[in-house]
Amino acid sequence: MRISKLVFKNMTRHKLRSFLTIVGIAIAVIAFGLLRTLVDAWYAGVDASAVNRLITRNAVSFILPLPYSYRDQIARVPGVENVTFANWFQGVYIDQEQFFARLAIDADTYLNNFPEFLVDPDQVEAFKNERNACIIGERIAVTYNLKLGDIMPIEGDIYPGSYEFVVRAIYRPRDTKTDATQMLFHWQYLDERVKQIAPERAGSIGWYVITISDPDKAAQVSDAIDALFANSRAETKTETEAAFQQSFVSMSGAIITAMNFVSFVIIGIILLVLGNTMVMTARERIGEYAVIKTLGFTKGHIITLIAGESLAISVLGGALGLVLTYPIVDVFGAALPSGWFPVFEVKPETVVQSVSSALAVGVLAAVFPVWRATSMKIVDGLRQIG
């Protein structure tokens, strides 16, 4: 027999209590993992941002357009490698519930700026050669069972009218951080329609996407671009893609702060659950600790017995919670309205936080019982027997 066996036997002494504590920890770890995943999903756009991409938008508001004519001027700014643009189209596909990004883009240049969208070159060519062609993300293709050659009918809202797009390419995400839920089509196609229905809105785009040669010079390049259009009818605001994405996240700042707070409150709850169990356990066994100290066991052995049991319970609860977090996050993600969170998955950081929290809780929950058992005089412990 090793002392670890005694730890295990002690843990199974009150099976129901240990089981309930393990389940309690598991539920808390699941809740923690789910909340962290939700917070991470909010930041997915920020995380996926490329360090060498800038976004130039209208300085007044993101929803106001910029002239298409800015493009060449931006391209001439030192440090700019590529310039492309996009325009929020939105529209209704099937019904209002089906939400995902639908963007009008410059078909010739857009994909050059987004190497994380992996597309078959033949499909790219097919997309470029057809005016009403579109590229869709892999997840959209799966969700709506779309394949190459299928028609996507979309009813315009910001740009009224009926549109029909032919799926000519399906992109794959380069990694799990990449949004695979976008639908991209020719801006030129949209602009032709706009010229017919609202000529005064023609020739406008939503934002420019600029790839720069040196990420360290993002601030200088941004300033140079904005300086070009200072005091013009449509002044610009240029920032890194991460800052641009962050501005969207900031709109939900209070909710995210609350979720962050609650996720760490959950760690406190786990600590109380396990702490309560360990305090009860140590109090019940104070006589036994006195006995084994009489036999010659040292403080180190007592620490091993109590902290070992606490850690074993927390690790088991943490492991169970972690294992269950994955399917529960999947179910939760599937239950969310389509397109709310393009990336919704448990990040490695969340796993590390869950595991380290469980371990820390295991250690912390043992501190008071260990102190009590080790500082107790043997004779005082023996008096509690009988």
Partner 1 sequence: MSTANHLPIIQVENVSKSYRRDEIDIPVLSNISISVPEGEFLALMGPSGSGKTTLLNLIAGIDRPNAGQIIVNNTALGALRESALAKWRASHIGFIFQFYNLLPVLTAYENVELPLLLTNLSKKEKREHIEASLELVGLADRMDHYPKQLSGGQEQRVAIARAIVTDPTILLADEPTGDLDKKSAEDIMTLIDRLNTEFKKTIVIVTHDPRAAEKARKIMHLDKGELSS
- 325, 34 contact by CB (below 8 A): yes
CB of 314 to partner 1, least distance (A): 20
- Using only the alpha carbons of the chain, give its radius of gyration: 29
Handedness of CA 130, 132, 135, 140 (dihedral sign): negative
Residue closer to partner 1 (CB basis): 139 or 301 = 301
Rounded distance between C-alpha atoms, residue 273 and residue 265, angstroms: 12
CB of 14 to partner 1, least distance (A): 10
CB of 370 to partner 1, least distance (A): 15
Residue closer to partner 1 (CB basis): 113 or 277 = 277
CB of 9 to partner 1, least distance (A): 4
Residue closer to partner 1 (CB basis): 12 or 231 = 12
Rounded distance between C-alpha atoms, residue 63 and residue 205, angstroms: 10
Handedness of CA 158, 161, 164, 168 (dihedral sign): negative
CB of 294 to partner 1, least distance (A): 5
CB atoms < 10 A from the CB of 361, how many? 29
Query: Applying CB under 8 A, which residues contact partner 1?
Result: 1-3, 5-6, 9-10, 12-13, 287-288, 291-300, 377-379, 382, 385-386
Rounded distance between C-alpha atoms, residue 199 and residue 46, angstroms: 35
CB of 247 to partner 1, least distance (A): 59
DSSP string over 153-170:
EEEETTTTEEEEEEEEEE
Residue closer to partner 1 (CB basis): 10 or 49 = 10
Residue closer to partner 1 (CB basis): 297 or 368 = 297
- 103, 182 contact by CB (below 8 A): yes
- 54, 210 contact by CB (below 8 A): yes
Residue closer to partner 1 (CB basis): 296 or 337 = 296
Residue closer to partner 1 (CB basis): 176 or 294 = 294
CA distances from residue 7 to 151, 304, 306, 307, 313 in whole angstroms, order as listed: 65, 8, 8, 9, 10
CB of 16 to partner 1, least distance (A): 15
CA distances from residue 277 to 205, 272, 280, 362 in whole angstroms, order as listed: 62, 8, 5, 11
